[in-house]
Structure 1
Amino acid sequence: MTFQNVAARADLPLPGIGTLAARVTVLEHGCVRYVVHGPHIRGTFVLIPEHFRDGTILPSTVRVQYGDGTGPCGYAEHRPDEPVIYGVRLHGWTGGIDPANVPNGYFLGRYATSLRAGGVHRELTSAVRRRTEAVIRSVTRHWRNLPHLHDLLTAAARPNAKALASHEADLAAQAKAEVAELRQARARACHQLNVITGIIRRAPRPTLAPDPSPVRLPLVDSRKRPMGTVTVREVAVNDDVAGAVVYEVHGARVHGRFTVGRDIYRPLPMPEGIWVAYGHARQRYFEYERSHEPTVNGVRLDGEWNRSTTDGLTAATPADLPAHVRLTRTTGHSAPAATARRASAVLRALALHYLRRPDVEALRLAAAQDHAPPHLGNTRTEIRDLRRQQEAAERRVRRHLAREEQYRALLTADAAASSRPQTSAA
């Protein structure tokens, strides 16, 4: 059905003001022109349905334009027959109006102005603003009650339908890709859950008791130059920290204890790396001060060294390892260069000594089983979160595909409607 360029007269009520005489004409793309005349009012208003990306399929808000025409117009250029209210010529537009719920006042926005000579914009006075708002409410109410409103909205939506259908197709494709990624992530998490469960169910393997017999370990720097030897005795095995060994170390200007175990930050499914802490560790994390912290070159050190892999670990590499000087319980600074070199040599030597233990795999399993219970709960939570994310992504796929189909339906030619005779707008 076409209504374009068919005019009709209408009398629109202005509560508390009087009656607004209007000539109503349907323009292209669902726009409707109102040429009005009333108390201190004359000129043209054009109601333009607003059709936005990611908005409703059919326009749900309108823009009221001051002056005739539907094409672009510069902000400093007058439109034909701009409304004149109380002798003030209106310029611009007011958008984002919900026809079903037009505000009572103060909704004209910054683009409703009075354009003066030289392109100067002036704010509207209170009286002009109130009268303009009354006119907008009246013409919007009339527009909303037009018997062919759905056809107007469809006509307004059709010009952008092809581009918006492509946009929805792109969004659907992105959501499908996200679904695929989430499925893969869920599969990985489920596999990890099975691995953790298997680790928990495995029978613990026996570990060796602490061996008090002294062992001499040579130290070398990063250039493989000798730095003397240290005597190492085992103090505790698989005790406070599962899978770890506490060593008492003396010699070559090194005195104190070190705790050696597996990587504590990436422990699943089975820890692969190495962890060496200064002092006798009673727990893995958040231990600010350990007992029997060692001195190297007479300097007391604290902290730890953690590495996710044992690949490339030799008596000389990695070259520079952490060495932190303790001042108080919570303060300190980096160790001097000579102290850091010696401390690095000790850390490397102890890590290699630990990895040569005959029960190293039993200690590794003990560390994994100690880590497993809390990570089992975390993995279950991760799987639930991934499932919720996947379901949400699948809903987005369905939504975007449905919206794409609706936009493409707007493009279908309606031969029957176009063949109907023109009808008045009011």
Structure 2
Amino acid sequence: MRLHSQTTRADLPLAGNGSLAVRVNFLENGGVRYVARGPHIRGTFLLIPEHLRNGTVLPSSLRVQFGDGMDNRGYYEHRPDDPVIFGMRLHGWTDGIDPDDVSDGWFLGRYAESLRAGIHRQLTTTVRRRAEDVIRALVAHWRSLPSRRALLLAAARPKAEDLAMHEAELAATAEAEVMDLQGRRAAARRRLNVVTGIIRRRPRPIRAADPTPVRLPLVDRRNRPLGTIVVREVAVNEDVAGTVVFEVHGARIHGRFTVGRDIYRPQPLPQGVHVAYGHARARYFEYERDHEPTVNGVRLNGGWDHSTTDDLTTSTPERLPARVRLTRTTGHSAPDATARRASAVLRVIALHYLGRPDAEALRLAAAQDMAWQHLGDTRQKLRDLRRQRTAAERRTCRHREREQQYRALLTSTAAPDSAPLAA
């Protein structure tokens, strides 16, 4: 249907009592002008379909503007023929009105105010309620217009190209997400194969603890000697698979250290090294351990976790963690001299562990101990990634479909079937 610029007249009933005489004109871009006159009511209202980003393909809500003109006039400027209700001049607008379900309660938005001498004032309760009655009557008339569909099309076309480009961008983002999720799923499947292979591998023999004392030299980060320590193996720890407990004695150093592989990076086959102060009975979260060592008379707790063994020597990494416990869950860093000696011990103990002839058997034991947990976690991750990919594919299809609907608005003379009022 083609819109016409002819003026029509109508009398609209108002809630409560009275009626509103209006002159109606169709405007460009789908707006409708209502010049209203009634008891204590006069002025112009524009009803404009809202074509919103990420909204429906065809507008599904209305903005009611107080005053005439489709220009972007400033919020502090009056419009021609601003409505006056009970002597109060209305200014601004109210938006988000569903023409098929106008609220029975208060619905005027925050920008429906009165402007006087450049100062915005709230509407009185009486003016607000009457303004809402007027808007309900105008929206009811707008809803009954035979050209309603054509009005929506006229309002949609000016922004259709921009909104089509917006949907294309959203679709491209979703497509990139699909590709990323496919790559992550492939990596998760490879990880699942690795974990399954670890579970199926035959355990390798692990040497029992050798109590024979071994003397090892200590050096600081500059390779300056710090004396020697005597190290003996206390246990190949059954509480934490793949670890060995060492007892250390030397000048100003006494206590035990538990050494194994990196525990905080969940790789199927653990890399790196982890050294815990004391005799560890659990893999994680021990606030206090038996036989925690003393260095320079200071009792230390906690541990050191390192992601690789490639940079591990008797002098590097330079400074490793040395923590003094204050309470069960709090502590602070050890003094510099204590930290320097503790770092030297941690490095030497880690190298001594890695030098065992059954180091790879210990690593496999640690991997198999965690394999079932890794298997469950990886399967759950695959399920999550599959669900995310399905959702991203659906978003891609939806945005591509909306892009085509917006582009169809540019050439169609009637609203496409795939662009309903509330899509």
Same fold (TM over 0.5): yes
Which is worse superposed, 29-38 or 105-114? 105-114
Q: CA deviation at 1:243?
A: 0.6
Contact 1:61/1:97 (<8 A) preserved:
yes
Pair 1:94–1:267, CA change in 2 (3 A)? closer
Tell me the residue number matched to 1:188: 187
Q: Map Cα deviations across residues 28-49 of structure 1 (whole Å, 9 max, x no partner).
A: 1110111122222222111011
Q: Map Cα deviations across residues 175-212 of structure 1 (whole Å, 9 max, x no partner).
A: 00001001101111111111111101111000001111
Tell me the residue number matched to 2:100: 100
Tell me the residue number matched to 2:296: 297
Contact 2:240/2:281 (<8 A) preserved:
yes
Tell me the residue number matched to 1:139: 138
Which is worse superposed, 2-11 or 340-349? 2-11
Tell me the residue number matched to 1:74: 74
How many Å separate the matches in 1 of 2:343 and 2:63?
72
Q: What SS class does the counterpart of residue 24 from structure 1 fall into?
A: strand
How many Å separate the matches in 2 of 1:263 and 1:368?
11
Matches within 5 A, 1:148-167: 148-167=147-166
Tell me the residue number matched to 1:231: 230
Q: Map Cα deviations across residues 88-147 of structure 1 (whole Å, 9 max, x no partner).
A: 33222111111111122422223222322x322332222222221111100100101111
Tell me the residue number matched to 1:28: 28
How many Å separate the matches in 2 of 1:113 and 1:4?
32
How many Å separate the matches in 1 of 2:388 and 2:226?
56
Tell me the residue number matched to 1:111: 111
Pair 1:38–1:255, CA change in 2 (3 A)? same
How many Å separate the matches in 2 of 1:328 and 1:348?
27
Q: What SS class does the counterpart of residue 302 from structure 1 fall into?
A: coil
Pair 1:125–1:301, CA change in 2 (3 A)? closer
Tell me the residue number matched to 1:381: 380
Q: CA deviation at 1:327?
A: 4.2
Counterpart of 2:87, as a letter, is G
Q: What SS class does the counterpart of residue 300 from structure 2 fall into?
A: strand
Pair 1:114–1:277, CA change in 2 (3 A)? closer
How many Å separate the matches in 1 of 2:72 and 2:294?
79
Counterpart of 1:6, as a letter, is Q
Matches within 5 A, 1:254-403: 254-403=253-402
Contact 2:268/2:374 (<8 A) preserved:
no
Contact 1:267/1:368 (<8 A) preserved:
no
Q: Map Cα deviations across residues 129-179 of structure 1 (whole Å, 9 max, x no partner).
A: 222111110010010111121111011000000000000000000000001
Q: What SS class does the counterpart of residue 411 from structure 1 fall into?
A: helix
Q: What SS class does the counterpart of residue 411 from structure 2 fall into?
A: coil
Q: CA deviation at 1:373?
A: 1.1
Q: What SS class does the counterpart of residue 128 from structure 2 fall into?
A: helix
Runs of 4+ off more than 3 Å: 326-332
Q: What SS class does the counterpart of residue 114 from structure 1 fall into?
A: strand
Q: CA deviation at 1:238?
A: 4.2
Q: What SS class does the counterpart of residue 12 from structure 2 fall into?
A: strand
Pair 1:327–1:155, CA change in 2 (3 A)? closer
Tell me the residue number matched to 1:88: 88
Q: What SS class does the counterpart of residue 51 from structure 1 fall into?
A: coil
Uncovered stretches (5+) of structure 1, i.e. residues with no partner: 418-426
Q: What SS class does the counterpart of residue 309 from structure 2 fall into?
A: coil
How many Å separate the matches in 2 of 1:75 and 1:290?
69
Tell me the residue number matched to 2:199: 200
How many Å separate the matches in 2 of 1:285 and 1:23?
78
Q: Map Cα deviations across residues 249-282 of structure 1 (whole Å, 9 max, x no partner).
A: 1122211111111101114121110111111111
Q: CA deviation at 1:413?
A: 5.1
Tell me the residue number matched to 1:420: none
Matches within 5 A, 1:402-417: 402-412=401-411, 414=413
Counterpart of 1:67, as a letter, is G
Counterpart of 1:73, as a letter, is R
Aligned-residue sequence identity (percent) comes to: 70
Tell me the residue number matched to 2:7: 7
| Matched pairs, number | 415
Q: Map Cα deviations across residues 283-321 of structure 1 (whole Å, 9 max, x no partner).
A: 111111111111112222111111010011111111111
How many Å separate the matches in 1 of 2:31 and 2:328?
75
Q: What SS class does the counterpart of residue 306 from structure 1 fall into?
A: strand
Q: What SS class does the counterpart of residue 231 from structure 1 fall into?
A: strand
How many Å separate the matches in 1 of 2:209 and 2:283?
20
How many Å separate the matches in 1 of 2:258 and 2:47?
78
Which is worse superposed, 168-177 or 219-228? 219-228
Tell me the residue number matched to 1:62: 62
Contact 1:105/1:130 (<8 A) preserved:
no
How many Å separate the matches in 2 of 1:173 and 1:64?
35
How many Å separate the matches in 1 of 2:345 and 2:388?
48
How many Å separate the matches in 2 of 1:327 and 1:55?
58
Contact 1:263/1:275 (<8 A) preserved:
yes
Uncovered stretches (5+) of structure 2, i.e. residues with no partner: 416-423
Q: CA deviation at 1:225?
A: 1.2
Contact 2:3/2:150 (<8 A) preserved:
no
Which is worse superposed, 365-374 or 33-42? 33-42
Pair 1:218–1:30, CA change in 2 (3 A)? same
How many Å separate the matches in 2 of 1:77 and 1:267?
63
* Cα RMSD, aligned residues only: 1.6
Contact 1:229/1:251 (<8 A) preserved:
yes
How many Å separate the matches in 2 of 1:133 and 1:267?
62
Q: What SS class does the counterpart of residue 35 from structure 1 fall into?
A: strand
Q: What SS class does the counterpart of residue 210 from structure 1 fall into?
A: coil
Q: Map Cα deviations across residues 359-379 of structure 1 (whole Å, 9 max, x no partner).
A: 000001001111111121111
How many Å separate the matches in 2 of 1:333 and 1:89?
68
How many Å separate the matches in 1 of 2:359 and 2:217?
21
Q: Map Cα deviations across residues 309-336 of structure 1 (whole Å, 9 max, x no partner).
A: 0011111111111112234443433222
